[in-house]
Structure 1
Amino acid sequence: MSYKVQGLRIVIVGGGEEALNKVRLVTKTTAQVVIISRHVEADFSGFAVEQIERAFVPADLDGTALVFVAEEGADAELAKAEARARGIPLNVVDVPAECDFYTPSIVERAPLTIAISTEGDAPVLARLVRARIEAMLSPGIGRIASLAGGLRQRVESLIHDGAARRRFYEALVTSPEIEAAEQRGQGLDAAHDLLSQHVNAETKGVVWLIGAGPGSEDLLTLRAQRLLQEADVIVHDQLVPTVVVDMGRRDAERIDVGKAKGHHSFSQAQINTLIVRLARQGKRVARLKSGDPMIFGRAGEEISALRKAGISYSIVPGITAALAAAADTATPVTLRGVSSGFIMATAHGADDSDLQHWAALAQSGLTLALYMGKSIASEVAGRLVANGASPTTPVGIVVNAGRPDRATYSGNLRSLIEGQVTFIDGPAIIFVGEAVAAGDWADAGQLAALSFKVA
């Protein structure tokens, strides 16, 4: 929330360093800033403030929008009481319980202002977040914001569709060419050229096949985050967590196509038809898939449908579950002198020739990462051994890789065959190979060759 202070006073009761800190903040506004203290000790000479070196009196709050109390004593108590009596918002420095409002850390790129607040709980954290945002934003982004504001009426008169206007503004504020032109004093001309292009451009849809990673939102790529913010529609799978879907624009349409084991709310053909139809409507579609779209994500079928329909598309890679599982357990899936390669395969639907091939690969030292095989893990292990894999080959299983609720299990092919294990709910990755033994499985449930359950 921004508070209107134009033409009013901001009164700071106090004359020390805490008062100076508040002056640095409030002098960025258009208010008249007044310092009142019996003893003004800090140097306020570099700021446009009025200094009153005397005791506080109630009349000092006439015409005041906000009050800061940055000292202790009788004057401070009187100022607090008077502010509350008059209903003027009050901030008592470093006393959150007495504050009506908090002053955030500010990132200023006028007219763009970003405020970071912890409601008084962790001001140091707010400053650290501010530093990160400062480093991320171009110094000239404020000028681009002003440029956008100056074009507002012209844009609205030329582009009547709200989505099309949004696309123009997104292009304007993200274009390196516009920023470079603005630095040369030619920003307005460049913006008008860009506007002409958007006015005359035919609205074309596009589909982005985006890998959402294994589930943790901080494993999403920067490109994926950016495109989610640009998407008009987000078509997502059942395994994509809500927190990732919510990274999209607030007003973006969300469609859950809910493909999960034993439950198919949309067939693959229906999904193909859906994303083609949305793109033909001129919409930018984020097709959000768990993991990486090109690894067991059926992206090939969707790409084929998009090509056939003449729809533009692009692929945004994501962290696939096997790599997240390897990271969770510090398992080097390739290891010098042990494993020279890494194979990803799906256990469901594997026939005897697949198993014979996998067994030979495991014997040769390669690491297998088997997807979608939790319910048939013991059966697959038995068939690998039957096809020549050693019963003592190490096995590691990660359920919900990359997520806080992940669980791990370890043993070898023999113990997986003979043990009876109840895994926690969630997708699993089964690692098979000698390199698995080099991972960190200290806290894993053991796949012992006896009947037991791991909750």
Structure 2
Amino acid sequence: MAAAASANDKFPKVQGGGSLILAWQIRNKHVLVVGGGEVAAGRILNVLNADAIVTVVCPADGLNPEVRHRVANNEVHHIDRVFEPSDLESLPASNGNAPDMVMCAIDDPAASTQVWKLCKQHRIPANIADVPPECDFYFGAVHRDGPLQVMVSTNGKGPRLAASIRNFIAKSLPPNVGDAITQVGTLRSKLRQIAPKTEEGPKRMRWITRVSDAYSWNDMVDLTDEDMDNLLKFYGPNKVPDLDVLKGMRGGREAEEIDVFDGSFGFCIGV
């Protein structure tokens, strides 16, 4: 009994009822959007931001101004008619292939359910707007700052509340956090160039983690290309220099040439 109690304290408890929140990579994948109203416009923008190829099936007179703008600027492909079951088998924009994802946003519950059932037959993940039981995935409230994306999900229960929570989180984040993440991404790319081997992976990850812990977000934003190149010199010996040392290396100086006061000595005056 004591051993069982100890195990229960050691491991996290399962909390059912949630969703598996993932960063779904849909770059160059084909997304079919059924409908062209306000809800569809928001869905379209979300997947365009993820670099998807989008086809909208909707009569032209059902397109709202934003979707009409996307069509006019060739940001999406438009089929001027209502949805047909064959759309789940072949569409011109996908070179005759089935879509990889379907989103339905029309004001017809019966037709929406039919789209859902057809998607299940074709094993295509789908989202039926405002019908949580007929969704393989939900859209959350997202804060975006360059490469940073923070999503708040209420699992379809309170979208408006999710937006309020997102705004609260966004206000608490530093204004330059997106730039800092971009810098870390640049550093990682440079590191892969000098240490490309697969077996270097664990060391690369540990070193990048140490760099991220050693420097503040403001410090990362201020690093120049020269600073990054100098920083990479410390990867081999698996070290992370103090920021003062790194900045002192500007202009071609080596770390050994730089004297940095570390506070290890001093003096006092007696009165």
TM-score (norm. length: structure 2): 0.62
Residue 51 (structure 1) aligned with residue 75 (structure 2):
no
Could you list the per-position Cα deviations for residues 372-431 of structure 1 after superposition, in whole angstroms to 9, with x for gaps in the alignment?
Answer: xxxxxxxxxxxxxxxxxxxxxxxxxxxxxxxxxxxxxxxxxxxxxxxxxxxxxxxxxxxx
CA distance in 2: counterparts of 1:121 and 1:145, whole angstroms: 36
The higher-RCO structure (CA 8 Å, 6+ apart) is 2
Could you list the per-position Cα deviations for residues 335-390 of structure 1 after superposition, in whole angstroms to 9, with x for gaps in the alignment?
Answer: xxxxxxxxxxxxxxxxxxxxxxxxxxxxxxxxxxxxxxxxxxxxxxxxxxxxxxxx
Q: Which has the larger radius of gyration?
A: 1
**Quick check: 1:111–1:145 contact (8 Å CA) kept in 2?**
no
Could you list the per-position Cα deviations for residues 111-153 of structure 1 after superposition, in whole angstroms to 9, with x for gaps in the alignment?
Answer: 3333221211121222223223333142423422431331342
1:170 paired residue number? 213
1:179 partner amino acid? V
2:107 partner amino acid? E
Residue 150 (structure 1) aligned with residue 186 (structure 2):
no
SS at match of 2:220: helix
Residue 195 (structure 1) aligned with residue 232 (structure 2):
yes
Which of 41, 50, 63 is residue 20 of structure 1 equivalent to? 41
Which of 98, 101, 105 is residue 70 of structure 1 equivalent to? 105
Distance 1:203 1:113, change over 3 A: closer
Q: CA deviation at 1:197?
A: 5.1
**Quick check: 2:53–2:76 contact (8 Å CA) kept in 1?**
yes
**Quick check: 2:152–2:165 contact (8 Å CA) kept in 1?**
yes
Distance 1:123 1:198, change over 3 A: same
CA distance in 2: counterparts of 1:133 and 1:120, whole angstroms: 19
**Quick check: 1:18–1:70 contact (8 Å CA) kept in 2?**
yes
Structure 1 residue ranges without an equivalent (≥5) = 205-311, 313-455
Q: CA deviation at 1:91?
A: 0.8
**Equivalence map 1:305-316=2 (5 Å):** none
SS at match of 1:151: helix
User: Structure 1 residues 19-28 or 161-170, which shifts more?
Assistant: 161-170
SS at match of 2:100: strand
Identity %, equivalent residues: 23
Richer in strand (by share): 1
**Aligned CA-pair RMSD:** 3.1
Structure 2 residue ranges without an equivalent (≥5) = 1-21, 91-97, 242-263, 265-271
Q: CA deviation at 1:89?
A: 1.0
SS at match of 1:115: strand
**Quick check: 1:111–1:146 contact (8 Å CA) kept in 2?**
no
Distance 1:161 1:153, change over 3 A: closer
TM-score (norm. length: structure 1): 0.39
**Quick check: 2:125–2:136 contact (8 Å CA) kept in 1?**
yes
2:106 partner amino acid? E
CA distance in 2: counterparts of 1:126 and 1:155, whole angstroms: 43
CA distance in 2: counterparts of 1:155 and 1:85, whole angstroms: 48
Which of 53, 66, 75 is residue 32 of structure 1 equivalent to? 53
1:176 partner amino acid? N
Which of 208, 221, 225 is residue 179 of structure 1 equivalent to? 221
CA distance in 1: counterparts of 2:44 and 2:213, whole angstroms: 35
CA distance in 1: counterparts of 2:206 and 2:125, whole angstroms: 39
**Equivalence map 1:42-121=2 (5 Å):** 42-43=64-65, 44-47=67-70, 48-61=75-88, 62=90, 63-73=98-108, 75-121=111-157
CA distance in 1: counterparts of 2:28 and 2:118, whole angstroms: 21
CA distance in 1: counterparts of 2:112 and 2:64, whole angstroms: 17
Q: CA deviation at 1:6?
A: 3.2
**Equivalence map 1:292-371=2 (5 Å):** none
**Quick check: 2:128–2:135 contact (8 Å CA) kept in 1?**
yes
